Each structure stands twice: as C-alpha cells, then as structure tokens.
Structure 1
Amino acid sequence: MAEVVNLNRFRKAKARAEARDSADANAVKFGRSKAQKAREAADAERARAELDGKKRETDQD
C-alpha cells in the first residue's frame, strides 16, 4: 500500500522553489555587486565634496 502524503506540503514546497528561482533571477537582473555599490558611494561623496567646495561664503553675523 502507498504511503499517505500531504499535498499541501508539496504545493507549498513547489511555491517556495518557484519564488526562490524568481528571486535569484531578479538578483542577477537587478542586483549590484559590492564593488559597484562602493564605487557609486564614492562617486556620490566626491560630487558632494565638489559641490560643497563651490559654495560661496557669506558674512552673516
């Protein structure tokens, strides 16, 4: 006689596997590497510093 199985368990496992596959695909498609994030942060900091260096100083007491 065959073993009794819980179909909900298999249905949920399949849904989790599909969600994991979708997440992996999105990570490849939209994800950025650590080096890319660091480079973008450095570029933003450099742009902010350049902008701050061009500010005019005023004498307001």
Structure 2
Amino acid sequence: MPEVARHLDKKPYTIRELAKSGAIPGVKLGSEWRFKLSDIDAHLRRPLDPWVQSAKSRGRRRAR
C-alpha cells in the first residue's frame, strides 16, 4: 500500500478508505489490501459517467 500512496500522493489511510468505498480497484486478502498500479491508473483515466450516483449519495434519502 505504501507504493500506491506514493503513486497517488495520498496517505495510506486514504488509500484504504478509497478501496473500501470502491473508488479505486483493490482486493483485500485477509487483513491486507492488494493493488495493481496499472488497474488504478486505468480506473482513474476512464471517462466519468454523469448518470452514475456516487457511493456517498446512495445512502442518503431524498428531501420531500
């Protein structure tokens, strides 16, 4: 994980939280997270779909 943190210029805690939320691709094996830098780069380069709802907003209720 330190390599990914340096690559993305983030702290390891942030990388772990991004992986938990699905914002970056990663696999948890036991208590360790595993990442492939090429997968992360490809994921971050993909065009954003304006119709996709964020994980953060999926948990919210609509105002009535």
TM-score computed with the length of structure 2 as normaliser: 0.24
The structure whose residues are more often strand, as a share, is 2
The structure whose residues are more often helix, as a share, is 1
- The answer to which structure, 1 or 2, has the higher relative contact order (CA under 8 A, 6+ apart) is 2
